[in-house]
Amino acid sequence: MQQLSLPLNLPNADIDQITWFQKILTFLGINRGAAWCDQFGLSLRYRLNQQSHSPIKTLSLFSGGGGLDIAFHDAGFDIVQMVELEPKYIQTLEKNSQTGQWLENSQPICIDIRKFFPSPDLKVDFIIGGPPCQSFSAAGRRAAGVAGTKDTRGTLFQEYVRLLKTLQPKGFLFENVYGITGAQKGEDWQEIQNAFKQAGYTIHFRLLDAADYGVPQHRERLFIVGVKTGNYLFPYPTHGPDSPGKEPFYTAKEAVTGVDKSHTEPGLTGRYGHLLTDIPPGLNYSFYTTEMGHPHPVFSWRSKFSDFLYKADPHSPVRTIKAQGGQYTGPFSWENRRFTIAELKRLQTIPDAYEIVGNDQACIQQIGNSVPPQLGRILALSILDQIMGVALPFPMQYMSPNKQLGFRQRKRQLTKIYAQKSSEAIALLYIKNKSSNIQIITGKEVRFLSSDFGWSKNKSDHSIKINLTYELNTSCWMITAQTSDILTEENKFVLDVFPTLGNENWVIETDKVKLCANELNPHLFTALWKAFEEKILDITGMADLVQLSGYYQYNPRFHGVMTFSPGLQINLFWLVVQCVVRGIGVANQLSAQNLSLLWGVKTENIFSYLQSLRSMGYEVRNHHTNPQIPQGEYLIPYIFPTLTPRTVQLRKNLG
């Protein structure tokens, strides 16, 4: 382990004129700069080791990659055991627990916490850790509510409580996403509070932003500190507008300065990779929306997660680093590339010398799941001072319980800043005249629709050949589809698509769209929507039908009407499809009984109809596909089919 040779006396300084955090930095001999947090941790550990207080034996639960363990170890806590389920995370903990490494003398244990029963000889003073947070996360809310403690991951806090009851430490620190307080309309939060109280602890909790504590990342998390006796107050922010000295935030550019970038790969690949270049730093995919003023919108407002194509601003902390994400999940560098693992460690304040084991994906998971050590260090010092009774060689300043922090309000104010950035960036772009995009386009094409709803120019196994005829002009887009090679004039059904009344975001330079087929065939129905979507992308750049319509929780930007050829014999299912195209029973969670009333069919047939809709490419959700949806309710998000080979819902079933 790297050692520092530092004088024990305070440097000469007029400390009465500086804030409490500046006094700590002065005492530790630390100056702000790249990787200053690493030196903060090393110096803090060295200084506290000079004090002769009894070891504070600490048990770490849900240790992950070791973020909290780094923090508490640096603050003089003795991490005796680290309990973690994932073997790939254990490899990181083992690597860094060896002699001379950051967590030396700690003992990683690879075990499911539900099977962890500590030895009767184990005595601990403190417990740290937070269980997996996915069941309380933003992703859960977006999928139709939050599963909370109804999810098996959400009940892991009960194991935490079990160990509190068994070991009876003086206190504990519990970290989780803020969604935990709102899960199941607050019922889960009340259950969690009661469980800690029954274990014998008074709890104190706050939502904190890591950027307020010297982390170059805005990361909001709920922290709960429980105490057996006495009181606890959270420390004041060390950085940002709420800090006593108004210390500027630690910026992303400051943090990554000096990192080796010799192995970086420029740009992004894939369908949307090229879009990153024009996005101003600090913005995301929303730059390419009508609401931001883009002349050729690609996406619909709030149709993606906020980290989709998110480019970091070098002069601010980055947004939250995610543990998991797709190909376009940011933050991405302002240099229009992915951040390296070394840079992500800096942005999370994980020490350069701390080795994270695994491939890039495994490393990103461990980084994104960690509590940023610099935030953890400040909390650990406050616990050392107030709960453990250790006299610190520097002051700490604490907030009253009713002190309001301003990071949520500042977050809301960013919308205006982003809009201005977007406007300035668009003014610099070469903007084509939209009316020149299309005058009259006619032609014939062949496409193939595969069983997994792939849409291609090339034939594949189990694909169906679709013959298409296009006639696109400024008054109407007409697309006709048939499976036969012999052109047939008569249409068996027509889908008329119109912009919603008063909608100003209909980016297609035409008054309406007509999708026609010469036979009542489910494959042709799906193919027509696919063909329409393809032309939208080719002509306008709009990514897909979802972007054209808007995210389903908002009012749709277009509506549809399905009509059949007079005299055509149709079964009840096609009447259900007709209702769905009109938006009847769509974009709301509804029971089978409600759907039967809306569609005019028998309740006992609803499940069969929903299965048939899925076979046509419609996304249909229920409790089996999305546990957040109550039993017996169903959700069809859109009036058109949205399933593709890449769609997660394609690999799920309705039960």
* 3 state SS of 651: helix
Helices (H), 569-624: 572-581, 592-599, 606-615
Say how far apart CA 477 and CA 235 lie, in whole Å: 62
Q: How many CA atoms lie within 13 A of 630 on its CB side?
A: 8
Q: CA-CA distances (angstroms) from residue 88 to 62, 65, 94, 366?
A: 13, 9, 10, 9
User: C-alpha 346: how far from its chain's center?
Assistant: 20
Given a contact cutoff of 8 angstroms between Cβ atoms, the answer to whether 444 and 432 are in contact is: no
CB neighbour list of residue 405: distance below 8 Å, 6 or more residues apart: 207, 208, 209, 212, 237, 242
Q: To 5 degrees, how large is the angle CA 65–CA 69–CA 72?
A: 155
> What are the backbone angles phi and psi of residue 26, rounded to the nearest 5°?
-65, -45
Structure tokens at 476: 């109407």
Instruction: Give the SS3 label for residue 554.
Output: coil
Distances from the Cα of 37 to the Cαs of 19, 214, 215, 344, in angstroms? 18, 8, 9, 14
The alpha carbon of residue 413 and the mean position of all alpha carbons in its chain are separated, in whole angstroms, by 21
Is the separation of the CB atoms in 103 and 93 below 8 Å? yes
The active-site residue, picked from 37, 110, 133, 363, is 133
Q: How far apart are CA 79 and CA 52, in angstroms?
A: 17
Q: Tell me if residue 133 is catalytic.
A: yes
Residue 643 CB contacts under 8 Å (≥ 6 apart), including other chains: 452, 453, 614, 617, 618, 619, 649, 650
What are the residues whose beta carbons fall under 8 Å from the beta carbon of 190, sequence distance 6 or more? Answer: none
* Residue 522: burial class (beta carbons within 10 Å; 0-12, 13-18, 19+): middle
Q: How far apart are CA 128 and CA 171, in angstroms?
A: 9
Q: How crowded is residue 394: how many other Cβ atoms within 10 Å of its Cβ?
A: 18
- Find the helix packing angle between 187-198 and 157-167, rounded to 10°: 10
Amino acid identity, position 222: L
- Catalytic residues, which ones? 133
